[in-house]
Amino acid sequence: SAVISQKPSRDICQRGTSLTIQCQVDSQVTMMFWYRQQPGQSLTLIATANQGSEATYESGFVIDKFPISRPNLTFSTLTVSNMSPEDSSIYLCSVLQSSYNEQFFGPGTRLTVL
Amino acid sequence: AQSVTQLDSQVPVFEEAPVELRCNYSSSVSVYLFWYVQYPNQGLQLLLKYLSGSTLVKGINGFEAEFNKSQTSFHLRKPSVHISDTAEYFCAVREMIQGAQKLVFGQGTRLTINP
């Protein structure tokens, strides 16, 4: 199974600032995703991170607010821009490992915006 | 569009009792079905999956689930729970939507095991 690490594991940020979350996978994967889990709620897909091209965003999420990079098959970043308290959530990186037909999740980044 | 409904937001159970966590989905095409567990302050861990074949699938930690196509359900069961099973459980469905693989989650069921 894929091993996924995320940095930072948690952060407390001020309103109006931006935070970049890193996701590193121990093997090459074709598909990487970013999810948000708001307090006490389920997971919502933000976008699919495409290697070498722009990310594909879900309804309600835009590139200006959540820019994503994916420079290679093992790494991606998600930036939460111009943060407000409503952005306080856990952000999770996920990969689809085709050989197992399974989707694995990173440990998450717990973000608190004051 | 697909949706996943977990009928119970919270399920309290006594230790060593059986438990069933319900999940229904709506989809007009073949889907892959999953159950994930999230222990307090941790990430998601895959419990089990249904891709094809036998409708009864066994997972880790003694859990199993049964795929019922006619009822579009994928309920999770365990015959005897332990305190350590206290966690949030998510049912998820993956299918192709507009040429892209999407994993859609239910709202989650908080399982609380009481001694």
Greater pLDDT, B44 or A52? B44
CA distance A93 to chain B (A): 10
How far apart, in Å, are the Cα atoms of A42 and each of A90, B22, B109? Answer: 10, 16, 10
Here the CATH number for the domain that contains residue B56 is 2.60.40.10
User: With contact defined as beta carbons under 8 Å apart, do B2 and B68 qualify?
Assistant: no
Give the model's pLDDT for residue B91: 96
- Cβ contacts of B36 on chain A, cutoff 8 Å: 105
Count of domains observed in chain B: 1
Residue B27: which domain range?
3-114
Give the model's pLDDT for residue B28: 65
- Cβ contacts of B105 on chain A, cutoff 8 Å: 42-44
CA distance A34 to chain B (A): 11
Return mean pLDDT, chain A: 93
Chain-chain contact of B32 with A101 (C-beta, under 8 angstroms): yes
Mean pLDDT of the region A11-24: 97
> pLDDT digits over A84-94, tens only?
999 999 999 99
Looking at chain B from residue 30 to 89, which residues have their Cβ under 8 Å from any Cβ of chain A? 32, 34, 36, 42-46, 49, 51
Nearest chain A residue to B52 by CA: give it. A101
Give the model's pLDDT for residue A8: 96
Mean pLDDT of the region A56-78: 95
How far apart, in Å, are the Cα atoms of B107 and each of B7, B70, B89? Answer: 9, 22, 9
φ, ψ for residue B44, nearest 5 deg: -90, 140
pLDDT in tens, chain B (115 residues): 568 999 999 999 999 999 999 999 987 677 899 999 999 888 899 999 998 889 999 999 999 999 999 999 999 999 999 999 999 999 999 877 777 778 889 999 999 999 9
